[in-house]
Amino acid sequence: MIEFLAPVSKIVVAHREVLPAGTLGKQILLHAKQHELPDLKEVKFAIFGCKENRRDVNFIGSEINFDSVRKSLYSLYPGNWKHKIVDLGDIEKGDTVEDSYFAIQTVTSALLKKKIIPLIFGASQDTLYAQYRAYDSLGNMVNLVNVDHRFDLGDADAPISNKSYVGKIIIDKPYNLFNYSVLGYQSYFNPPQEIGLMDTLFFDAIRLGEVTKDITEVEPILRDADIVTIDSRAIQFADTGIGGSPNGFNGREICAIARYAGISNKVKSFSVFELLDFNANEAGAMLIAQLYWYFIEGVNFRVLDDIFNDENSFTTYKVPVNNDVLTFKKSSKTGRWWIELPFISNLNNKLKRRTLLPCTYGEYLGATNQELPERWLKARKKNEI
């Protein structure tokens, strides 16, 4: 993968030298010279940027760099972390967009195979397609969570763009997508037919107001994700200077989401797309840097509470609801809840790890009042198709 990676810019390397001792910049391993990658042994996180933005519907030839975000991230102090971080530099634009996709897929796949979590700085969000395709070699179905104001489904037969790429993820072989969830969508940015299609496909679509009313409700969705990605335009303009919409997540809310993504034992890659240079916007660069900080913080505090072959590690509850008997499991370590999906337990190996669906205590209480959990129903209906 080294042939696809350009070193971290000299500006960032120079900035790193003047940082105080103990900051992340002094601890992150750096790809500072061409073709000289740091040793990846015992590394848990690998930062790299993707500068491809030619499929942005508003592309007018602009170039992207991530120096401001890097400098902000490097200036932060780590928590009580035990994992090593490396910054691999950037993937420059290829001769074609497809060349860029291939490079992103190759680098991401190589890191995943080494059990290293890619932390991706992204330009236009269509490159998420390449991040997703990197999972092809892992052999499991994939749950994708997109924190976004739009669904980005688009027309699967039309050319891919940063507002129309999920359709390609759904229909292109190999078929690895099990579930697609959008957190924080805003109705006025989405065609009614896409809202209907999300429901028809039994995907999860949660409006901005629903998430901000009780942000803890999205934790189970993030706990069940393999990929978590954030469109920076899902954040309100006042906090980032991106996108132009006054409505969106504020800084505290989006950082909480990033931390929930980190504490999930299943999330294997994390990205933020639609980034700008931020040269004149220090606050925007710092907020994006803090998203990565909170994700890394979450990973460092992961607890293995989802291994269910030890009966002493959880409590099982059976709840009769109409003609069904729902089985809930509560972790003795963390108090987190799951619900069993017996209807997919005998399917192919790609789906076997999906037989337990993360849920909330509230969904358990709802079941005791004869209410079937909505995500459990969607999983069953998806299996019946």
CATH classification at residue 10? 3.40.800.10
pLDDT at residue 47 greater than cutoff 60? yes
State whether 178 and 114 are in the same domain: yes
pLDDT of residue 161: 96
Residue 305 inside a domain? The answer is no
- Give the contacts of 172 (CB within 8 A, at least 6 positions apart): none
Give tens-digit pLDDT for 217-238. Answer: 999 999 999 999 999 999 999 9
pLDDT of residue 276: 87
Residue 247 inside a domain? The answer is yes
Nearest residue to 341 via CA among 352, 333, 330, 349 = 352
State whether 281 and 347 are in the same domain: no
pLDDT of residue 354: 53
Residue 370 inside a domain? The answer is yes
pLDDT of residue 65: 92
pLDDT at residue 279 greater than cutoff 90? no
Give tens-digit pLDDT for 95-150. Answer: 999 999 999 999 999 999 999 999 999 999 999 999 999 999 898 899 999 999 99
Among the candidates 270, 300, 330, a domain finishes at 300
pLDDT at residue 348 greater than cutoff 70? no
Whether residue 273 contacts residue 229, with contact meaning beta carbons closer than 8 Å, is answered with yes
State whether 110 and 155 are in the same domain: yes
Q: Which residues pair with 326 in a beta bridge?
A: 319
pLDDT band at 323 (very low <50, low <70, confident <90, very high): confident
For the chain, what is the domain count?
Answer: 2
pLDDT of residue 207: 97
Residue 18 inside a domain? The answer is yes
Average pLDDT of the chain is: 93
State whether 290 and 315 are in the same domain: no
Residue 322 inside a domain? The answer is yes
pLDDT band at 385 (very low <50, low <70, confident <90, very high): low
Q: Which residues pair with 47 in a beta bridge?
A: 87, 119
pLDDT of residue 349: 47
pLDDT at residue 344 greater than cutoff 70? no
Peptide bond into 78 cis (omega under 30): no
Give tens-digit pLDDT for 286-300. Answer: 999 999 999 999 999
Nearest residue to 228 via CA among 159, 142, 168, 305 = 142
Give the number of other CB atoms < 10 A from CB of residue 378: 17
Residue 306 inside a domain? The answer is no
State whether 315 and 362 are in the same domain: yes
pLDDT mean over 315-319: 96
Whether residue 204 contacts residue 245, with contact meaning beta carbons closer than 8 Å, is answered with no
pLDDT at residue 371 greater than cutoff 50? yes
pLDDT at residue 186 greater than cutoff 50? yes
Give tens-digit pLDDT for 8-46. Answer: 999 999 999 999 999 999 999 999 999 899 999 999 999
State whether 268 and 315 are in the same domain: no
Residue 87 inside a domain? The answer is yes
Residue 80 inside a domain? The answer is yes
pLDDT at residue 373 greater than cutoff 60? yes
State whether 179 and 256 are in the same domain: yes
pLDDT of residue 131: 98
State whether 174 and 240 are in the same domain: yes
pLDDT of residue 360: 96
Domain that holds residue 172: 2-300
State whether 89 and 175 are in the same domain: yes
State whether 231 and 291 are in the same domain: yes
Among the candidates 262, 279, 300, a domain finishes at 300
State whether 266 and 151 are in the same domain: yes
DSSP states along 78-93: P-S--SEEEEEEEE--
Tokens 């700085």 belong to residue:
121
Among the candidates 248, 275, 300, a domain finishes at 300
pLDDT at residue 56 greater than cutoff 50? yes
State whether 296 and 225 are in the same domain: yes
The 142-147 sheet, strands edge to edge: 29-30, 84-91, 43-50, 117-122, 269-273, 227-231, 142-147, 177-185, 204-207
How much is the pTM?
A: 0.95
Give tens-digit pLDDT for 166-185. Answer: 999 999 999 999 999 999 99
